[in-house]
Amino acid sequence: MAEDNPPPPQTRSFEGIKSIQGENTFVGLTYDKLDITASIDRVRSPKAGAVVVFLGTTRDNFEGKPITTLEYTTYPPLALRTLTTILTTLKSTNPTSLHSISVIHRLGIVPIGEDSIVITLSTSHRAEGWRIAEECLELVKDKVEIWKREWFVDGGVWRANRDGGKGAEDVGEEEEAGGVPVEYLEQEDR
Distance separating the N- and C-terminal Cα atoms of the chain: 39
**Residue 13 forms part of a structural domain:** no
**Residue 190 forms part of a structural domain:** no
DSSP string of 7-35, one letter each residue: PPPP--SSSSEEEEEETTEEEEEESSPP-
Specify whether the CB–CB gap between 109 and 144 falls below 8 A.
Answer: no
Please give the model's pTM, rounded to 2 decimal places: 0.81
Domain range for 111 is: 2-8+18-185
69: domain CATH number is 3.90.1170.40
pLDDT of residue 154: 87
**Residue 50 forms part of a structural domain:** yes
Number of structural domains, the chain?
1
Low-confidence stretches of the chain (pLDDT < 50) are 1-2, 166, 168-190
